[in-house]
């Protein structure tokens, strides 16, 4: 079933998902506008990566629906799903390059797999994609010869190989040094705008993300607890959002793991036992 495309490339409505009887997402509603970069933030295990898998059709919701470009993802047959996925790019956590392929062949892989383009044109396109991330000169290197930041940029070139309408990033900043982190963040924004694509950034890195995104969703315990523009999120007085954005040690997410007794009571009890 397909409806006319709206201003939102991705629309998630009343979506719930559970592994067996363990709920992961509950009643999620979010939209990814065309041409925008949107961040999904939250603590580990809150359902961020699961949301990407539902958008890509790897998982099916327990309730609700996911629409991409007007199509209900989980209602598509295999051919329809693969056709839709060819319009999506994915940058996996830590890059996930094919270790036995050169940089050039990693980027060329999708072009060879999903198009009938001649090798001469593939060569030109691969070098163009690598040039856009500053690594045209590294095309003959193997992944083991790359730094972490370079590998992430090659993975980004691979993600945009087929000029996707939607690019999804799963923790794109994880493990990067400050210079590489800034470079990757800038590339995410510039490439999205150059392609006229929409991007979803799942991340823990609040400060770097807030430099490049247009809108933010905060997920906690499987629910969207806050959303807004960068300015609205920075100014939020909601305790969970404020703690997350400013990296405070204590708040709704406590520093101390719950204990049956206070620290003072436990010390006094042990002292009495040894007295």
Contact 172, 188 (CB under 8 A): yes
- Domain positions in the chain are 8-87+164-236, 101-163
Reported as a single tens digit per residue, the pLDDT across 116-162 is: 899 999 999 999 999 998 899 999 999 999 988 889 899 999 999 88
Measured from the Cβ of residue 113, the count of other Cβ atoms closer than 10 Å reads: 10
| Cα–Cα nearest to 204, from 170, 180, 231, 154 | 170
Q: Crossing angle for the helix pair 119-132 and 103-114, nearest 10 degrees?
A: 130
Confidence of residue 2 (pLDDT cuts 50, 70, 90): very low
pLDDT band for position 253 (cuts 50, 70, 90): low
Give the Cα separation of 24 and 242 in Å (integer): 23
Contacts of residue 236, Cβ cutoff 8 Å, sequence gap at least 6: 226, 228, 242, 245
Question: Which is higher by pLDDT, 257 or 33?
Answer: 33
Q: pLDDT, tens digit, for every residue of 163-194?
A: 999 999 988 888 888 888 888 889 899 999 98
User: Which CATH number does the domain 8-87+164-236 belong to among 3.40.50.300, 3.40.50.2300, 3.30.1180.10, 3.30.565.10?
Assistant: 3.40.50.300
Average pLDDT, the chain: 84
pTM recorded for the entire structure: 0.81
DSSP, collapsed to helix, strand or coil, labels residue 248 as: coil
């Amino acid at each position: 079933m397909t409806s006319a495309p709206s201003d939102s490339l991705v629309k998630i409505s009343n979506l719930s998902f559970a592994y067996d009887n363990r709920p992961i997402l509950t009643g999620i509603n979010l939209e990814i506008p065309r041409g925008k970069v949107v961040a999904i933030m939250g603590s580990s295990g809150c359902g961020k990566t699961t949301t990407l898998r539902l958008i890509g059709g790897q998982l099916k919701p327990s309730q609700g629906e996911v629409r991409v470009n007007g199509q209900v993802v989980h209602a598509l047959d295999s051919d329809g799903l693969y056709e839709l996925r060819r319009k999506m790019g994915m940058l996996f956590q830590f890059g996930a390059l094919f270790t036995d392929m050169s940089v050039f062949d990693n980027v060329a892989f999708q072009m060879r797999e999903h198009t009938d383009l001649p090798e001469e044109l593939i060569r030109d396109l691969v070098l163009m994609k690598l040039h856009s991330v500053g690594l045209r000169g590294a095309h003959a290197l193997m992944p083991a010869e790359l730094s972490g930041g370079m590998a992430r940029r090659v993975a980004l070139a691979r993600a945009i190989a087929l000029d996707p309408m939607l690019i999804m990033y799963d923790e794109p900043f994880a493990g990067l040094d400050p210079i590489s982190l800034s470079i990757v963040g800038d590339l995410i924004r510039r490439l999205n705008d150059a392609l006229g694509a929409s991007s979803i950034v799942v991340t823990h890195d609040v400060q770097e993300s807030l430099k490049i995104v247009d809108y933010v969703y905060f997920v906690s315990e499987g629910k969207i607890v806050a959303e807004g523009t960068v300015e609205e999120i920075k100014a939020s007085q909601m305790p969970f959002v404020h703690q997350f954005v400013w990296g405070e040690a204590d708040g709704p997410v406590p520093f101390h793991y719950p204990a049956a007794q206070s620290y003072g009571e436990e010390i006094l009890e042990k002292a009495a036992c040894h007295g």
